[in-house]
Structure 1
Amino acid sequence: MSTIAEASPAAERTQPGQTNQHYDLDPEIFGLFLDPLRKYSSGLYRTEPITLAQAQVAKLHFVADLLRLTPGSRLLDVGCGWGSLILFMAREYDARVTGISPAGRQHEYIATRAAQLGVIDRVTTTVGRFEDATLPERSFDAVTMLGSIVHMPDVDLAVRRARAMLRRGGRYYVSETCFRNAAARDEFDRRAGTEFVRNSIFGWGDMRPLSELVRAVEDAGFSVDGVEDLTEDYRRTIEDWLLRVEESAAAIDELRPGMAAALTRYLEVANAGWGFTTKHYALVCRNGR
């Protein structure tokens, strides 16, 4: 049975790691510009021609392959969003999945979709922050963080917790937008566009260079199995989102006046610096001990 845990007092504190001002918007807004799965991270554009929906399915299969999921695998998705990954892995790979996110509306949506898809017995969600949540240690075969570690102030704590969740041999997948290097972070972290995305859209976020993520996973005891550059894939994804925002602007603004313009500015800022100031990487790591 799918369950939604109550948010703990710790999860209700106002703090940098919370991003509910964006993710607790009306779910229908996201349905108007994301793909049908409502996957809010990079797709995978490795065949042509390819649609946004096809690219997002390809990305989910890509993640499953890197994690080596098999029927019955236990997966924890940190920052589960609208449930695209956990619902897909439960339905397509017969995995037993747990999603965690501080945004209550997301969990309501996931529960409804799990029932509709017939996977309610394999899907569990928890409302709260990963850093504070009570979760069973050493009990997962895989942990994923797709675009969520950027919202966690203490990257070392987040990665250590991810490793603590994994059984020996378990795999950790983290994909994130990073500043191209430390110099780019120093120059662009406080620019107007960056501050707009951080404060007006998400409420908080801290992009780091890839080197900081690699150091964090190595210091936590992980073995890094691979790094994949997904920069061009994310650029294509955002281009498709921008087209969908333009096509659905009136409907988006009917749900939240001015939201179409805010989303357009956010996505244009995100797409402005690829390769020059920012990159998007996927790391896959193994808990070898």
Structure 2
Amino acid sequence: MTTTDTHTGARPAPPEGRDGGLALPPEEARQATNEHYELPSEVFMAFLDERVKYSSALYLTPGATLEEAQTAKLHFVAERLGLRGGECLLDVGCGWGSLTLFMAQEYGCEVTGVTPSTPQAEYVREQALRLRIADRVHIRVGSYSDLDIDGRYDAATMLGSIVHMPDRVAVLRKAYASLRREGRLYLSESCFRSAEVYREFASRPGTRHVTETIFGFADMVPFSQLIEAAESAGFSLERLDDLTAHYHRTIEEWERRAQANRERIEAAAPGMAEPLVRYLRTANAGWGYTSKHYALTAAKSRLGPKAAV
């Protein structure tokens, strides 16, 4: 059983691991994280877009709706991965299935989604049946670190999921092993803007409200640590995209919808509306000051990106 601080309800901060991250067994991290992700789907439907996509959108025009921006983001991920149609894709931390279902439906990919949450898995399977793409969608339930994943994939995605996994190097080595030669990885994550800021702000109350009270476990590190972990896993780095402004606008819209739908959120999960709104405000207040949101594209290639001819 995980103990809590009797005064604040927050978990004591776990010790640091060898790479500067938090040392926590993957199963304990999974159980802690599921306290958030196993909330009723109605909570997330009350403030996310119609695909229930719980990560940054991509606003290509000033007047774009959240739904349009989330669709643009999914096409952006497909472009970064070089998808042309029919590929075999691994979606680590598939959430409510937005990317898994989109790539199967729009690009004809065979997609394996991984989630630690049984309610999420059931939801994605139901949606795959509804969309008549169940033959192309396979959902694995459990901690990614503990699952047997073969090496047949053309591409892998991790959108906002590695923050919940204590051993980043091991996770990225596993992703590397799951890819065929020249396979690509798309990884996006919110992070502290520098190691100095990480040391200063990681234990502050606002940060711990997000990483522990809301998410159960999340180790939001400087992106340089994720780049180092990707390189240690064997990946060749291809691109780095700064999506901070897009995530700021995404969360603004999430907060607007959460405020407008407080009654729906409370009906689904009593007592959740206020912490959720506080989380969204805290997250948005830090962009550019303490935090950034980057996307990394990397390849399983010793030679790196091919030159244009």
TM-score scaled by length of structure 1: 0.94
Distance in 2, Cα, partners of 1:129 & 1:249: 31
> Equivalences for 1:28-107 in 2 at 5 Å?
28-107=42-121
How far has the Cα of 1:169 moved from its partner?
A: 0.3
> Deviations 1:227-256 (Å, cap 9, x if unpaired)?
000000000000000000011001111111
SS of equivalent residue, structure 2 residue 190 = strand
> Deviations 1:60-96 (Å, cap 9, x if unpaired)?
0000001111222000000000000010000000000
Unmatched runs of 5 consecutive residues or more in structure 1: 1-11
Q: Which consecutive segments of 4 or more residues in structure 1 shift more than 2 A?
A: none
> Equivalences for 1:93-132 in 2 at 5 Å?
93-132=107-146
> Deviations 1:116-146 (Å, cap 9, x if unpaired)?
1111110000001111101112x00000000
Distance in 2, Cα, partners of 1:55 & 1:209: 26
Question: Is residue 199 of structure 2 the alignment partner of residue 164 of structure 1?
Answer: no
Distance in 2, Cα, partners of 1:269 & 1:230: 18
Distance verdict in 2 for CA 1:75–1:13, change over 3 Å: closer
Distance in 1, Cα, partners of 2:115 & 2:160: 12
| Equivalent AA in structure 2 for residue 56 of structure 1 | Q
Question: 2:276: which partner in 1?
Answer: 263
> Deviations 1:97-125 (Å, cap 9, x if unpaired)?
00001100001000110011111110000
Question: 1:231: which partner in 2?
Answer: 244
Contact 1:231 1:279 in 2 (8 A): yes
Unmatched runs of 5 consecutive residues or more in structure 2: 1-24, 303-309
Distance in 2, Cα, partners of 1:228 & 1:49: 22
* Identical aligned residues as a percent: 52
Q: RMSD of the TM alignment (CA)?
A: 1.2
How far has the Cα of 1:13 moved from its partner?
A: 7.9
Between stretches 212-221 and 178-187, larger displacement belongs to 212-221
SS of equivalent residue, structure 1 residue 111 = helix
How far has the Cα of 1:198 moved from its partner?
A: 1.5
TM-score scaled by length of structure 2: 0.88
Distance in 1, Cα, partners of 2:268 & 2:216: 20
